Amino acid sequence: MSEYLPGIIWLAVLLVVNGFFVGAEFAVISARRSQIEPKAEAGSKAAKTTLWAMEHATLMLATSQLGITVCSLVILNVSEPAIHHLLEIPLALTPLSPDAIGIIAFVTALLLVTFLHVVLGEMVPKNISFSVPTRAALILAPPLVMVARIFKPVIWTLNGIANAILRLFRVEPKDEATSAYTLDEVANIVEQSTRDGVLTDTSGTLTAAFEFTAKTVADVQVPLADLVLLPESSTPADIQQAVSRHGYSRYILTNHDHEPAGYLHLKDVMDLTSPEKFHRPVPAKRIRRLASAFAEAELEDALASMRRTGAHVARVFDAQGRTTGVLFLEDIIEELVGEVQDATSV
User: Is residue 175 one of the residues assigned to a domain?
Assistant: no
pLDDT for 197 = 61
Share of the chain above pLDDT 90, in %: 33
Q: Are strands 323-328 and 250-254 parallel, antiparallel or unpaired?
A: unpaired
Report d(CA 160, CA 162) in Å as an integer.
5
Residue 71 has pLDDT above 90, yes or no: yes
Q: Give domain status of residue 305, yes or no.
A: yes
Strand 313-317 and strand 291-294: pairing?
parallel
pTM here? 0.55
Amino acid at 260: P
- Provide the domain count of the chain: 3
Residue 247 CB-half CA count within 13 A: 2
Least confident span in 13-22, 25-34, 178-187: 178-187
Residue 97's pLDDT is 86
What tens digit of pLDDT does each residue of 142-163 get?
Answer: 999 999 999 999 998 988 898 8
- 241 and 304 in a single domain? The answer is yes
Sheet holding 229-231, edge to edge: 229-231, 250-254, 260-265
Do both 267 and 231 map to the same domain? yes
> Does 78 share its domain with 155?
yes
| 229 and 161 assigned to the same domain | no
Same domain, 99 and 33: yes
For residues 70 and 137, membership in a common domain is answered with yes
Residues 145 and 33 in one domain: yes
Q: Is residue 343 part of a domain?
A: no
The answer to whether 87 touches 108, Cβ cutoff 8 Å, is yes
Q: pLDDT digit string (tens) for 288-340?
A: 988 889 999 888 888 888 888 888 899 999 888 899 999 998 888 877 766 65
Under a CB-based contact definition with an 8 Å cutoff, are residues 322 and 309 in contact?
Answer: no
Of 303, 323, 319, residue with least CA distance to 311: 303
Secondary structure of residue 222 in the 3-state scheme: strand
* CATH number of the domain to which 247 belongs: 3.10.580.10
> Is residue 176 assigned to a domain?
no
- DSSP state at residue 198: S
Looking at 168, 201, 231, which one is the last position of a domain? Answer: 168
Q: Is 219 helix (H, G, I), strand (E, B) or coil?
A: helix
For 197, which DSSP code?
T
DSSP reduced 3-state for 298: strand
| Residue 271 shares a structural domain with residue 147 | no
- Whether 177 maps to a domain, the answer reads no
Side-chain-side CA neighbours of 51 within 13 Å: the count stands at 14
Is residue 345 in a domain? no
| pLDDT tens for each residue of 202-237 | 545 555 565 566 788 998 899 988 888 999 889 988
Point out the least confidently predicted range of 77-81, 129-133, 134-138, 183-187: 183-187
> Are residue 62 and residue 31 in the same domain, yes or no?
yes
346 domain-assigned: no
| In the chain, beta strands by DSSP E | 222-223, 229-231, 250-254, 260-265, 291-294, 313-317, 323-328
| Domain assignment of residue 313, given as a range | 217-337
Same domain for 206 and 243?
Answer: no
DSSP-based three-state secondary structure for 93: coil
Identify whether the C-beta of residue 250 lies closer than 8 Å to the C-beta of residue 346: yes
Burial environment of residue 119 by CB neighbours within 10 A (0 to 12, 13 to 18, 19 or more): exposed
CA 185-162-143 angle, 5° bins: 75
pLDDT in the model for residue 203: 47
In a domain, 174, yes or no: no
Assess whether 128 and 195 both reside in one domain: no
Q: Residue 274, SS3?
A: coil
Is 116 in the same domain as 27?
yes
